[in-house]
Chains A and B, each alone.
Chain A
Amino acid sequence: MCVLGESRLEGYHGLAYRKLVEAGVNVGDTVEVSFGDESFVGRLMPRVESDDDSVVTIKLPNGYNIGLSVVDASVRLVSPAGGLHQQPPVEEAVGFGAGEYVALISTGGTIASRVEYETGAVRPALRASDLMSLVPELEGISRLKTQVLMSILSEDMKPAYWERIARAVYSELEAGAAGVVVAHGTDTMGYTAAALSFALRGVDRPIVLVGSQRSSDRPSSDAYTNLLCAVKFAKESFRPGVYVCMHASTSDPTCAVIPGVKVRKMHTSRRDAFKAVNTRPVAFVDRDKLVFLDESSKGYVVGGGVVFKPGFSDKAALIEYYPGFSLDILNWLAEKGYLGVVLAGTGLGHVSSELVDGIARLRRSGFLIYMTSQCLYGRVNMNVYTTGRRLLAAGVVPLGDMLPETAYVKLSWALANYPLEEVDGVMRSNLVGELSARSVYSGEWT
């Protein structure tokens, strides 16, 4: 996906750029590219930066784009078009009564973008009117109050943004939304879901993160179903907590709602990439119904009111252990001022026995070390093998069945909100369902 800037010759450089500038042409203008007796007329289209610098892309009257080399060609402006139109996203302020509406906060990603049909460029947009036209069925479910909080790519997410999102969600809840839907890029949606879970512990209404794996310009996009189901769950479930709502399978109608601390993107591209790990979805939703798998909400502090702690530290790290792993990496983190690390160890929670002494030294110096498993499924148990027992003795804190990513987010949060000496205790306790005491059999492994 490319989000294009404002340049009037987007993506052009080198020879093509020079010829276009000479001809006084901008993207969107109608141009003639001539090769002696042969010429082509079409509208100049933007290009992706990294391409051949001798080629211009034009859109022919039949709708096709073609590339023409301008090495032996002349370019002439036929008629200017004033550039391709762009509508900046606008926030819409609407007065709603408490509980009547769902607040929709857009942070970016595929679901909050739309394609510019002429160029194929993807641009951020998430006004209520856009959504309603995208999913007219929303009208029958809930009124919507929308805001574009940020427009960033999923991979650009960072702890400071988690705090901004948490604050935005909190103020929407304070203002009386029945629930909050957060539109998010899918790559790091699991992390943000965990972050909101900790920052808004004890929340009394649903907060639902939603994304899409196929951009909404395509008729087959999963955005429609996902958005519809997320808003429906936010409005109708009355189920407190933070969740991710995405396709339950490759088929269209149904979404799974998965706890925000137990969810992980497990596929690069499939619609049903998000899986509940070491638990199961709390509900399945489609246009017509909402089915809970489990009526209880164990592990949540409900009724105590929201404990709003939106801070996140950037002094936490997440490291996956691998054969050949060097202690240098951990030492470097400590030297650079990191306060702690979550390790995704092998199997039941191991790293090489050769690292044990070094880890013990780091712990003694006050550097925090937590253990999760790179298996993702199952829980760590460091009492079974000698190395595990030695790591425990060295001060490594095991984190049960907590996902490595959730553990990392939790550490970042704990470091920002608790004194250092309390962090181990915070990490070990189950605050929002991130740790379960029992490993429940989930059927045959596939």
Chain B
Amino acid sequence: MKVGLEIHQQLDTREKLFCACPTRPATGKPDYEFRRVLRATKSELGVVDPAAQFEEVRRRVYVYQGFRDHTCLVEMDEEPPHELNMEALEIGLMCAMLLGARPVDEVVVMRKTVIDGSNTSGFQRTALIALGGGIKLGDKTIGISTLCLEEDAARLVSSDASTGVVTYRLDRLGVPLIEISTKPDITTPEEAGAAAYEIGRILRRLRRVKRGLGTIRQDINVSVEGGARIEVKGVQELSLISKVVSFEAKRQEGLLRLREELRRRVPAVVVSDPVDLTSEFEATQSNTIKQGLKSGGGVFGVRVEGFSGYFKFEVAPGKRFGSELADYARQIAGVGGLIHSDELPAYGVTQEEVDAVKRKLGCSDVDGFVLVVAERTRAERALSVVAKRCAQAIDGVVEETRAAQPDGTTRFLRPMPGSARMYPETDVPYVRVTSETLSRLKSAIPPPLEELESRLVSLKVSSELAKQAVESEWLNVLETMLAEAPEAAQLLCSVLTQDVRELSREGVGVDELPDHVVLELLRGAVRKGLLRDQVKQALRLVATSSRSVGEALEEISSTTISLGELDAIIESVIDSNKQLISARGAEAFKPLMGDVMKLVRGRAPGSIVSQRLAQKLRERTERVSAQG
């Protein structure tokens, strides 16, 4: 198995890559909307890119939503791009140095054709800034092929297959991305996961990358022996990478097995022209078909020679060839789905109807058929896609771009783009990268995370927590706070790792809080000497209500007590129960706990109260016995 990764990470720059708009996402409703169409353009040689043509065939109308504070005429493709954002380029070059890649001497911005509407211009601006280098996984080196700087695409809002209207928000369009592509040196699913993790760690070391869901996206190229290169797009979680790789490898192996079986049965897969079968279903009891006919469609079908039994062929766990076919029909022709002979009779389709269809299509026993219920042109388009894919089954794996699903499986997205889809962006001047620039940047690279980790340990943070802390997406906040209040290291690490994780698992939108808000909150908490649990509550309050940081801290400290106050209560209870303690020793804990909790009146969690009480009690009894 050969696997290559393409990691896309959003950079945390002040401005976008080719305009002065901010890179933070917009909240709230868009300020304006406009509509566009995109066309596939022929290259010099009169060749239209297959991926581009595929999108054009779908005849989409794109609606774009803009925001006065987040998008300008550049994102609208109404103004030429400004010059390349130097802040982004510098981050990219620092990353190149960390990967041991060789920066180019002059950066040339290119246009990469993308006409799914996610770029208003119909292309994505991208520049190759460094080549080569690698990362270490134990003894093995995974080579890096290229490092590119590119603009992020618009965010998909909705897509209506029946009207062909696709809606995008423009706030994300133009946010700088760094794209790191590895060589296909990865050979196992586990290695893929480890490589992605290592690259993520190098990126985080730069301290200039965005955090939160969707700010890092992985594309994976997978090919098994005898298979073909498959590009899987849009893996958003690190943990899914090895899963996606192993699913995709199994799928390709499945397709190869199908190929072998097919080759034993037929020399080539022949598919008939589409036939109108509506009259065969005039009196049907099938709800699916009845509904399709009622909305003005018909039943159309093709005979697939020698294919009987292969539609239900399991190409990967839980994925039959028939459902692969349905993915193509849905994606390309926009039909709801299809029905194949291996699953009939079912869905209210009777054996008599199946027989009638077979007669009309002229199916022999080894032939299969596929039905589509839709309006004629759409159905015919779907069936021609089906015919093509069935015919290709005898070749094995088809090169294509697939989309990763949240469960780790993949689905057909579009044909693989051709290589002729790139040409220079003539509106942006070249940028010279001099050795002076490089040496200046080299000295500006932040220290490795290991350094921070050992500093945390020296500040009495457990090594386990320190390890987690340097992995935290809140690294920048943590470092800023450490500089101001190193004595609070333990609290800061706990809050910025476990607590924020727990909060976001509960659905509290803590990830969306801007860095400066969290910083302000932590500063206040440290100043007031709040407990870890109180800090967590304050975070929750700020993220879920309209309270300001000051209000939240005030509210938490008035409804909760600080560590000092808690200790004072405990001391006073111990003082007034000296006899009980000397009589019952450790046994005194339970009644004392009851007394303390009464005085605390719910202003501190029981776990902390019991922990502090136990500690104070131990101190007291030790002192007493030492004195005695």
Give bound CA distance, A118 to B424, whole Å. Answer: 8
Determine whether A256 belongs to the interface, using a CB cutoff of 8 Å to chain B.
no
Q: Could you tell me if B106 and A133 are in contact, using CB atoms closer than 8 angstroms?
A: no
Q: Could you tell me if A250 and B110 are in contact, using CB atoms closer than 8 angstroms?
A: no
A219-B122, A251-B35, A253-B35 given; A63·B44 CB < 8 A = no
Give bound CA distance, A123 to B64, whole Å. Answer: 31
Q: Could you tell me if A64 and B108 are in contact, using CB atoms closer than 8 angstroms?
A: yes
Q: How many residues of B contact A (CB 8 A)?
A: 51
Determine whether B104 belongs to the interface, using a CB cutoff of 8 Å to chain A.
yes
A67-B105, A219-B115 given; A214·B77 CB < 8 A = yes
Q: How many residues of A contact B (CB 8 A)?
A: 48
Q: Contact partner of A218 among B121, B128, B148, B421, CB < 8 A?
A: B121
A60-B128, A65-B424 given; A55·B110 CB < 8 A = no
Among B248-256, B341-349, B425-433, B494-502, the one that faces the other chain is B425-433
CB proximity to B under 8 Å, residues A91-131: 115-122
Give bound CA distance, A271 to B40, whole Å. Answer: 19
User: Which chain A positions have C-beta within 8 A of B429?
Assistant: 48, 51
Determine whether B38 belongs to the interface, using a CB cutoff of 8 Å to chain A.
yes
Nearest CB of chain A from residue B144's CB, rounded to whole Å: 13
Q: Could you tell me if B73 and A219 are in contact, using CB atoms closer than 8 angstroms?
A: no
Nearest CB of chain A from residue B162's CB, rounded to whole Å: 19
Q: Could you tell me if A218 and B35 are in contact, using CB atoms closer than 8 angstroms?
A: no
Give bound CA distance, A115 to B423, whole Å. Answer: 9
Give bound CA distance, A249 to B424, whole Å. Answer: 28
Determine whether B107 belongs to the interface, using a CB cutoff of 8 Å to chain A.
yes
Give bound CA distance, A219 to B113, whole Å. Answer: 8
Q: Contact partner of A66 among B35, B37, B104, CB < 8 A?
A: B104
Determine whether A68 belongs to the interface, using a CB cutoff of 8 Å to chain B.
yes
Nearest CB of chain B from residue A118's CB, rounded to whole Å: 7
A55-B105, A64-B422, A120-B426 given; A249·B34 CB < 8 A = yes
Determine whether A52 belongs to the interface, using a CB cutoff of 8 Å to chain B.
yes
A219-B122, A220-B122 given; A2·B73 CB < 8 A = no
Give bound CA distance, A85 to B45, whole Å. Answer: 10
Determine whether A81 belongs to the interface, using a CB cutoff of 8 Å to chain B.
no
Determine whether A162 belongs to the interface, using a CB cutoff of 8 Å to chain B.
no
Nearest CB of chain A from residue B444's CB, rounded to whole Å: 22
Determine whether A69 belongs to the interface, using a CB cutoff of 8 Å to chain B.
yes
- Closest chain A residue to B80 by CB distance? A269
- Closest chain B residue to A60 by CB distance? B128
User: Which chain B positions have C-beta within 8 A of A65?
Assistant: 108, 110, 128, 424
Nearest CB of chain B from residue A382's CB, rounded to whole Å: 38
A64-B422, A250-B78 given; A220·B36 CB < 8 A = yes
Q: Contact partner of B73 among A60, A63, A269, CB < 8 A?
A: A269
Give bound CA distance, A220 to B430, whole Å. Answer: 24
Give bound CA distance, A104 to B206, whole Å. Answer: 56
A65-B110, A67-B106, A251-B36 given; A219·B41 CB < 8 A = yes
CB proximity to A under 8 Å, residues B34-68: 34-44, 46, 52
Contact with B along A47-89 (1 / 0, CB 8 A): 0100110010100101111111100000000000000010000
Q: Could you tell me if A218 and B104 are in contact, using CB atoms closer than 8 angstroms?
A: no
* Most chain B CB atoms below 10 A, which of A48, A52, A218: A218
23 inter-chain pairs at a CB distance below 8 angstroms, sorted by A residue, are A38-B102, A48-B429, A55-B105, A63-B420, A63-B421, A64-B146, A66-B105, A67-B105, A67-B107, A69-B105, A117-B420, A121-B426, A133-B42, A133-B46, A134-B41, A218-B77, A218-B121, A219-B41, A224-B37, A251-B34, A269-B79, A269-B80, A270-B79
Known: A55-B105, A117-B423, A250-B76. 12 other contacts (CB 8 A): A48-B430, A64-B146, A66-B104, A66-B105, A67-B107, A68-B106, A117-B420, A120-B423, A134-B41, A214-B121, A218-B77, A269-B80
